[in-house]
Amino acid sequence: MTTQLESSSGRQADNSTTYIKQFSSSASGYAAWIYKKINNIQYITTTTITSVLIQKDLFVKGVLNYSSDIKLKENITDIKNDESDEILKVKAKKYNYKNDETKKTRYGVIAQELEIFFPHLVSEIIEDDGSETKTVNYIDMIPILLCQIQKMQKEIDELKENR
């Protein structure tokens, strides 16, 4: 297998090679990107930072997959019912973003409210103007919701049995 390394040229390699394309900027605050194609899978990553902010909607015509292999995890424990009960204190909201000219209706939670019960699901990013904006990790909220659904289903099943 051959490896090709290019810097910001438009040339594309054929499928038989490992293809690495680097984009970088000398301007402060901009990430250097690496595009790699290995075994017909395209990898895109930054070389200098760990997070990427996308200012507008992101559309994906495929599936988003998240690393979840047991070999990547440690300290694995079940979520306790009383831990998942806290999710019932978080209110679901309907809203639109101030800077969205379409005023499209969105659904979610308010980060500051979620942070009271699940601070590990809330992060902060620094905006260009230096202000901080809170973000929510909705993906990590799913197992908490799943635990709560399972608890509720068990209670429903017990009530049906006792009728």
* pLDDT score at 54: 80
pLDDT tens-digit map of 109-156: 999 999 999 999 999 998 888 899 999 999 999 999 999 999 999 999
**pTM of the entire structure?**
0.72
The CA dihedral of 109, 115, 116, 118, to the nearest 10 degrees, is 100
* pLDDT score at 15: 47
Provide the 10 A C-beta neighbour count for residue 109.
20
The alpha carbon of residue 130 and the mean position of all alpha carbons in its chain are separated, in whole angstroms, by 23
Low-confidence ranges of the chain (pLDDT < 50): 1-16
Nearest to 110 by CA among 87, 130, 131, 92: 92
Record the tokens describing residue 77, joined without a space.
């424990």
Cα 130 to Cα 39: distance, rounded to the nearest angstrom: 41
Instruction: Give the domains, in start order, of the chain with CATH numbers.
Output: 3-46 (no CATH), 70-161 (1.10.10.10)
* pLDDT score at 26: 52
* pLDDT score at 20: 55
* pLDDT score at 117: 97
* pLDDT score at 11: 47
DSSP 8-state symbol, 53: -
